[in-house]
Amino acid sequence: MVDLLNVENPLLSFLALSLISFLVCCLFFFFLFSNFYRQQQAPTKTPSPQSYPIIGNLIGFLRNRHRFHDWVSDMLSQTPSSTLQVNSFLNLSHGVCTANPINLQHLLHSNFPNYIKGSRYHDVLHDLLGYGIFSVDAHLWTLQRKISSHEFNTKSLKHFISDVVTSQLSDTLVPFLSNACKDNQIIDLQETLQKFTFSNICKVAFGVDITSMDNSGFVKAFDDAVEICSSRFLSPVPTIWKIKRLLNLGSEKRFKQAIKVVNDFALEIIKSKEKQELQNYKENTGKNQDLLSRFTSKTRLEMEFEDEEKRRKFLRDIVISFILAGKDSTSTALTWFFWLINGHPRCVRLILDEVVALEGFNYDEFKKLNYLHAALSESLRLFPPVPINSRLTVNDDVWPDGTYVGKGWFADYSAYAMGRMEKVWGPDCREFKPERWLDDDGVFQPSDQFKFPVFHCGPRMCLGKDMAYVQMKTIVVALMREFEIIAVDGGASAEKMMNPPYTLSLLLKMRGGFHVRLQKRRDWQMTLKQTSPRKTGKINGVC
Ligand code: HEM
Going from N- to C-terminal start, the domains of the chain cover: 1-41, 138-536
Q: With a 6 A CB cut-off, is 376 part of the ligand 1 pocket?
A: no
- pLDDT band (50, 70, 90) for residue 10: low
> Under a CB-based contact definition with an 8 Å cutoff, are residues 169 and 197 in contact?
no
CA pair distance 40, 200, nearest whole angstrom = 52
The alpha carbon of 523 and the centre of ligand 1 are apart by a number of angstroms equal to: 37
The alpha carbon of 462 and the centre of ligand 1 are apart by a number of angstroms equal to: 4
Cβ atoms within 10 A of the Cβ of 66, count?
13
Q: With a 6 A CB cut-off, is 460 part of the ligand 1 pocket?
A: yes
Write out the E strands in 372-528. Answer: 388-393, 397-398, 404-405, 410-414, 483-487, 515-520
Residue-wise pLDDT for 463-480, tens only, equals 999 999 999 999 999 999
> Under a CB-based contact definition with an 8 Å cutoff, are residues 83 and 100 in contact?
yes
The alpha carbon of 103 and the centre of ligand 1 are apart by a number of angstroms equal to: 21
Ranking 7-11, 60-64, 479-483, 497-501 by mean pLDDT, the lowest is 7-11
The helix (H) or strand (E) run that includes residue 187 is strand 187-188
The alpha carbon of 72 and the centre of ligand 1 are apart by a number of angstroms equal to: 23
Residues with Cβ < 8 Å from 400, sequence gap 6 or more? Answer: 102, 103, 105, 106
Which residues does the annotation place in the binding site for heme?
A: 462
Of 87, 123, 409, 416, the residue nearest 236 (C-alpha): 87
pLDDT at 189 over 60: yes
CA 165 to chain centre: 21
Q: With a 6 A CB cut-off, is 146 part of the ligand 1 pocket?
A: no
Residue-wise pLDDT for 90-108, tens only, equals 667 789 999 999 999 999 9
For atom 16 of ligand 1, the residue with the nearest CA is 389
Ranking 142-146, 238-242, 285-289, 370-374 by mean pLDDT, the lowest is 285-289
Q: Which CATH superfamily is domain 138-536 in?
A: Cytochrome P450 (1.10.630.10)
Report pTM: 0.88
Can you tell me whether residue 83 is helix, strand or coil? strand
Measured CA to CA in angstroms, residue 113 lies from 48, 237, 282, 382, 452 at distances of: 26, 28, 46, 29, 21
Write out the E strands in 394-531. Answer: 397-398, 404-405, 410-414, 483-487, 515-520
Measured CA to CA in angstroms, residue 521 lies from 165, 242, 340, 481, 525 at distances of: 22, 52, 19, 7, 6
Show the CA angle centred on residue 327, arms to residues 323 and 332, nearest 5°: 150
- pLDDT band (50, 70, 90) for residue 307: confident
Q: With a 6 A CB cut-off, is 148 part of the ligand 1 pocket?
A: yes
> Under a CB-based contact definition with an 8 Å cutoff, are residues 128 and 225 in contact?
yes
Of 382, 377, 383, the residue nearest 437 (C-alpha): 377
Q: With a 6 A CB cut-off, is 267 part of the ligand 1 pocket?
A: no
